[in-house]
Structure 1
Amino acid sequence: MTSPDPEGPLAERLLRFTRRAHRIQKRYIEQSGLGVTPAQSRLLRTLAHCPAPPRMADLAERLEVVPRAITSLVDGLEAGGKVRRVPDPANRRVIRIELTDAGRAALGELRAARRSAAEEILAPLTSEQRVVLGGLLDTLAEPDGGPRG
């Protein structure tokens, strides 16, 4: 006879919370009117943190998705004028992806949407609970379960 899974209820609550957070964030992104999906938003944020325009393969690796997924995301963002493909100055066969001015402006609006989503999600918590949650999330976000040094 197997014993009940003591972590099962906690894992289920964590998954329910994650789904709720994604739904709320998606709603705020859609309300922004930018015509950007949550996945495209993530790609824009990733681009904003790159010191130089990355290759699509680099983006796929950073976002932990297959290269074909990046192609689709870039195609949509490029059609909306938020990114552009540019040749690598050192190797013109290599294509890099860079943010446009419209992409940078969209990032500002997306940050505001994310902040609004976070405010809604965290509204039931006191300031002290938010600090505790922040520490717990920092611990859980690290692959080895500990804070970065």
Structure 2
Amino acid sequence: MADDDEETLPETFWAVAHQLRHLRKETLAPWDIAPSQARALGVLMRGGPMRLNELSEHLRIAARSTTEVVDALQDRGLVERRPDPADRRATLVAPTGEGTRVGEAIRASRDAEAEAYFNILSPEERVSLAGILRKLRR
């Protein structure tokens, strides 16, 4: 592996992204939940009940993949499908009570892990990094 000073910006960025993905998997291990499932549960907790196509848009994945994620969460009792009161032909997906409990526990654990990971940065560096990443995400 190259010396840190010789590493290019993209190499450094992807190395950090890899570390964060690994950390996320470790954080989710106690709940035996996949990262895609945790993301979907988080979106539903923040956004409330929504149709599958809306969830697909939030997750930026194909509808078929969203169906698989929701099926897995439903099998675990973490989400439920229910009729849309605004359109009886449509179905909404919503977290169950257990899904909300698990989602909140995951969020607390992820927040603690992120705090530990980013703790080497000063408050000013964190603000700068967040701003840079938001700018790049656009």
TM-score, structure 1 length as denominator? 0.80
Pairs aligned (count): 132
> Match of 1:105, as an amino acid?
R
Conserved 8 A contact 1:25-1:113 = no
Q: Which of the two has greater strand per residue?
A: 2
1:109 correspondence with 2:105:
yes
Query: Which position in structure 1 is the counterpart of 2:80?
Result: 84
TM-score, structure 2 length as denominator? 0.86
Q: Which runs of 4+ in 1 moved over 4 A?
A: none
Deviation at 1:127, TM superposition (A): 2.9
Identical pairs, percent: 32
Query: Which position in structure 1 is the counterpart of 2:51?
Result: 55
> Match of 1:46, as an amino acid?
V
Q: 1:86-144 deviations in whole A, cap 9, x for unaligned?
A: 01123322111011111111111111121122123213223332232222223223x1x
> Match of 1:56, as an amino acid?
L
Q: RMSD across aligned C-alpha pairs, in angstroms?
A: 1.7
2:41 to 44, 55, 60: 44
Query: Which position in structure 1 is the counterpart of 2:123?
Result: 127
Query: Structure 2: any 5+ residue segments left out of the alignment?
Result: 1-6
1:69 correspondence with 2:68:
no
Name the SS for the 1:93 alignment partner.
Answer: strand
Query: Structure 1: any 5+ residue segments left out of the alignment?
Result: 1-7, 144-149
1:9 correspondence with 2:8:
yes
> Match of 1:111, as an amino acid?
R
Distance in 2 (alpha carbons) for counterparts of 1:22 and 1:121: 12
